[in-house]
């Protein structure tokens, strides 16, 4: 019998709701499911919402009866917000989060590096926004609850999963005892300590760094703007690094590295936490300012990934698939990209729009993304937490030089999470004009948002399938192109035909005319009339033409669906 | 490397003496840090990562 705690988790700012468990005794016989998702964190819920957006139902199993403990992931990137916009929760994060775009590196009391990420008027979202993970989970859960295609089951713990050809049996335990679900696909979104991964004896590849970091959330009134603060080698914690981030509700995240040899248990003792937080406050000039502890935890930097995410009908996603270092906000932000990719690939296979081989493409693309992130994050990690004597000497030499020498300061750059470009994707068109383009997002790249008019952005109009964005010439669309779009739709390919027009009049044949008086799309995408971009359901470019024609559109769509 | 600059014997002797006294100035605890800083400044002045790598290989010999 699985008996998750029914007492609300402690928090000084978040009111935990304890949900009622889903009990097999109160529900009838279970028919075979299309998809069962194990884990109700950001990766699991975004996967469910993406699947639903493409018309595929899923069951989400949440082991606990409430959202996760502590603030956990607190920094969300613009790309994450673009993904969350698609599943309908970005506006709630915008309403309640703290947006920011500057980071500061401080050494011996001097600001040795300041990174200011520009704010592009063509972007709807800030480069970064901070909000505690409980809120993100709450918003995602609200969206899941409102969606008839998502069957959310609190208090359901997966005990064992076994697969036979085309079928997975999930053995689930609940407060009313065990039951089984048969499903075509099972998504393991069960986090960094994935029990499904362990049970299948799958090994992560990569490096674990020895340094241990403490995360502590405190409520304190500090007169700083929302910016990232990184303190290197302070007097109270020689050789180590301290990070501070502002969160909503007057909460500050203090993140510090432990001296070698100290255990997590020692570090999390209240006296130890108090002494270090007091020392940090003293260093920044706020000794004696009252503060209150909310939550603390420890982590170590790891750059690990499974070499493949799709294992027959069991698919790993988010932290269950890879463990990425916290530097550069790569945990949840990578999970959103995983889930967005997984959602459409799996939905198209389940619905029969594409062969099962498409799932292999998902695995190849996302493993590639994880490996790129690992390379990038490895550089940050070697600077933030040097893994050897040599790396420590070099880091210390750079700290020392940075007080007077400009040229080393860019080494403080912290290489924020950015979306992977699927440059070598098997879905990229072989019959487009990609090499002839002089600008704009290339094949495989994520989209560049465009502000068409005040508060009206290109990506607001995307969603639900492939998006073909075509620049109209004289308010008209060639007949053979219209026929090709019709033919693709008739063959079952979810395709939205968005037509850019300089006039505020609907273009005949368009699913939607996008009024772009300033020709922003043409500028940002380096196309003129007759040109077009084809976006996959995850908004990445899979074909682009300086002049679109019907046959090249159809062949590119077929390739993207592996038909 | 800029071929207009060469290190003649007098120049080498000057570098030899200055480096020795600077290591003593830095002291036993900081001399390593000092040498790494110096190497980074030299690499910046040289502006050629490949040449730097060749120098690393030369310096690693016969330790």
On average, the pLDDT of chain B sits at 93
Q: What local confidence, expressed as pLDDT, does residue A474 receive?
A: 86
- The answer as to whether A140 is a domain residue is no
| Chain B residue with minimum CA distance to A405 | B41
The pLDDT, as a whole number, for residue B4 is 67
| Residue A275 included in any domain | no
Taking an 8 Å cut-off on Cβ atoms, the answer to whether B36 and A397 are in contact is: yes
A78 pLDDT more than 50? yes
Are A69 and A45 contacting, i.e. CB atoms less than 8 angstroms apart?
no
CATH code of the domain containing A538 = 3.40.30.120
Is B34 part of any domain? yes
Residue A548 lies inside a defined structural domain of this protein: yes
A370-406 pLDDT tens trace: 999 998 888 888 888 888 899 999 999 999 999 999 9
Is the per-residue pLDDT at B2 higher than 60? no
Q: What is the pLDDT of residues A209-223, one digit of tens each?
A: 888 899 999 999 999
Mutate to test the interface with A, among B33, B36, B39, B44 (most CBs of A within 10 A): B36
In-domain check, residue A528: yes
For residue B50, give its domain range: 29-63
In a domain, A454, yes or no: yes
Please tell me the least confidently modeled range out of A297-301, A361-365, A437-441, B30-34. A297-301
Whether B6 has a pLDDT exceeding 80, the answer reads: yes
Taking only the tens place, the pLDDT of each residue in A127-181 is 999 999 999 999 999 999 999 999 999 999 999 999 998 899 999 999 999 999 9
- Please write the tens of the pLDDT for every residue from A466-495: 999 999 988 899 999 999 999 999 999 999
Domain membership of residue B12 (yes or no) is no
Confidence of residue B3 (pLDDT cuts 50, 70, 90): low
- Dihedral over alpha carbons A35, A36, A38, A40 (to 10 degrees): 80
> A265-268 long-range contacts, Cβ below 8 Å, gap at least 24?
A267/A212, A267/A214, A267/A298, A268/A214, A268/A296, A268/A297, A268/A298
Q: Looking at the 3D structure of chain B, how many domains does it have?
A: 1
Predicted confidence (pLDDT) at residue A358 exceeds the cutoff of 60: yes
Residue B1 has pLDDT above 50, yes or no: no
Q: Is residue B39 situated within a structural domain?
A: yes
Residue A552 belongs to some domain of the structure = yes
Kindly identify which residue of chain B lies nearest to residue A401, measuring between CA atoms. B37
CA gap A195, A193 in Å, rounded:
6
B53 within some domain: yes
Residue B43 belongs to some domain of the structure: yes
> What average pLDDT does this structure show over A219-228?
96
| B51: in domain | yes
Summary mean pLDDT of chain A: 95
For residue A107, which residues of chain B lie inside 8 Å, CB to CB?
none
B10 in a domain, yes or no?
no
ipTM of this predicted structure: 0.92
CA–CA distance from A84 to each of A46, A227, A321, A420 (Å)? 8, 22, 20, 17
- Tens digits of per-residue pLDDT, A261-271? 899 999 999 99
- The range of the structural domain enclosing residue A537 comes to 434-560
- Which comes out higher in pLDDT, residue B25 or A376? B25
Residue B6 lies in a domain: no
Instruction: Report chain B residues whose CB lies below 8 A from the CB of A407.
Output: 44
Render A168-225 in DSSP notation, one character per residue: EEEEEE-TT--EEEEEEEEEE---TT-HHHHHTT---EEEEEEEEEEEEEEE------
Confidence class of residue A327 from pLDDT cuts 50, 70 and 90? confident
Interchain CB distance below 8 Å, B36 and A408: no
> Which residues in chain A are contacts of B37 at CB distance < 8 A?
397, 400-401
Give the total number of structural domains in chain A: 1
Residues of chain A contacting residue B44, judged by C-beta atoms under 8 Å apart: 405, 407
Q: How many residues would you count in chain B? A: 63
């Amino acid at each position: 019998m699985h008996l998750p705690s029914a007492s609300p988790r402690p928090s000084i700012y978040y009111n935990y709701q304890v949900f009622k468990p889903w009990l097999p005794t109160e529900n009838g016989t279970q028919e075979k499911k299309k998809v069962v998702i194990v884990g109700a964190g950001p990766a699991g819920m975004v996967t469910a919402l993406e699947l639903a957006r493409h018309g595929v139902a899923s069951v989400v199993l949440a082991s606990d009866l409430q959202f996760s403990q502590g603030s956990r992931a607190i920094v969300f990137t613009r790309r994450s917000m673009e993904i969350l916009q698609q599943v309908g929760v970005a506006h709630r994060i915008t309403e309640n989060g703290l947006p920011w775009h500057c980071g500061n590196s401080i050494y011996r009391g001097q600001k040795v590096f300041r990174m200011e990420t520009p704010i592009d008027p063509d972007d709807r979202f800030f480069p970064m926004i901070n909000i505690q993970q409980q809120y993100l989970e709450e918003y995602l859960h609200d969206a899941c609850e409102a969606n008839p295609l998502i069957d959310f089951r609190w208090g359901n713990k997966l005990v064992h999963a076994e697969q036979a050809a085309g079928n997975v049996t999930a053995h689930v335990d609940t407060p009313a005892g065990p039951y089984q679900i048969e499903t075509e696909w099972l998504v393991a979104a069960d986090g960094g300590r994935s029990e499904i991964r362990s049970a299948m004896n799958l090994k992560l590849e990569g490096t674990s760094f020895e340094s241990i970091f403490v995360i502590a959330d405190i409520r304190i009134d500090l007169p700083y703007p929302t910016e990232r603060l990184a303190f290197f080698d302070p007097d109270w914690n020689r050789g180590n690094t301290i990070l501070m981030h502002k969160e909503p509700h007057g909460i500050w995240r203090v993140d510090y590295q432990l001296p070698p040899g100290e255990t997590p248990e020692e570090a999390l003792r209240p006296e130890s936490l108090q002494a270090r937080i007091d020392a940090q406050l003293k260093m920044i000039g706020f000794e004696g300012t009252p503060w209150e502890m909310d939550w603390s935890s420890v982590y170590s930097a790891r750059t690990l990934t499974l070499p493949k995410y799709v294992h027959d009908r069991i698919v790993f996603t988010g932290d269950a698939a890879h463990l990425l270092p916290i530097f550069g906000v790569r945990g949840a932000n990578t999970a959103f990209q995983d889930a967005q990719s997984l959602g459409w690939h799996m939905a198209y296979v389940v619905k029969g729009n594409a062969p099962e081989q498409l799932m292999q493409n998902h695995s190849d693309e996302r493993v590639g993304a994880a490996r790129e992130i690992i390379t990038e994050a490895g550089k940050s990690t070697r600077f933030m937490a040097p893994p050897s004597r040599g790396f420590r000497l070099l880091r210390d030499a750079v700290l020392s030089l940075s007080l007077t020498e400009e040229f080393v300061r860019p080494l403080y750059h912290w290489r924020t999470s950015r979306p992977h470009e699927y440059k070598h994707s098997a879905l990229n068109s072989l019959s487009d004009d990609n090499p002839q383009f002089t600008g704009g997002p290339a094949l495989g790249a994520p989209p560049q948002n465009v502000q068409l008019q005040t508060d009206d952005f290109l990506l607001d109009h995307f969603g639900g399938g492939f998006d073909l964005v075509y620049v109209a010439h004289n308010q008209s669309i060639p007949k053979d192109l219209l026929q090709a779009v019709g033919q693709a739709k008739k063959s079952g390919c979810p395709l939205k035909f968005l037509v850019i027009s300089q006039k505020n009049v609907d273009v005949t044949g368009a699913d939607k005319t996008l009024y772009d008086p300033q020709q922003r799309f043409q500028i940002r995408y380096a196309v003129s009339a007759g040109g077009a971009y084809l976006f996959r359901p995850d908004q990445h470019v899979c074909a682009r033409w300086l002049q679109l024609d019907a046959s090249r559109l159809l062949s590119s769509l077929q390739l993207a669906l592996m038909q | 490397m800029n071929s207009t600059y060469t290190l003649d014997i007098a120049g080498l002797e000057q570098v030899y003496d200055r480096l020795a006294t600077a290591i003593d100035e830095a002291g036993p605890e900081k001399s390593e840090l000092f040498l790494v800083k110096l190497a980074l400044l030299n690499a910046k002045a040289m502006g050629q990562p490949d040449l730097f790598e060749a120098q690393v290989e030369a310096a690693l010999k016969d330790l």
